[in-house]
Structure 1
Amino acid sequence: DYGAIAGYGVMRTPALVVDETLVLSGRVPTAAQVHDILAPLVA
């Protein structure tokens, strides 16, 4: 749904939204970068 995607402010894909917050957009992260993004959210 393009409207929902744009609602998060995504201008380029891929994108990652966590808890209604855009945390990554426009690039493919490494595994370490994904870990760094998600680790504080599950602690």
Structure 2
Amino acid sequence: MSDSSKKFDSSCYQDCESSYRECMSSKEHESVCKMKHAQCSCGCVLK
């Protein structure tokens, strides 16, 4: 673990980004995808 990854889980965020893009390319509403993306971003910050 390097210092840069101590507070933020980058692999978690990358998973979040890809699922967000999948959500946007599906028929899902944009606001739903953004809401999911925001939750995921917060969830990827290491406590």
When normalised by structure 1's length, the TM-score is 0.32
Q: Give the structure with the higher percent strand.
A: 1
When normalised by structure 2's length, the TM-score is 0.30
* Greater RCO (CA < 8 Å, at least 6 residues apart): 2
Pick the structure with greater CA Rg: 2
Q: Give the structure with the higher percent helix.
A: 2
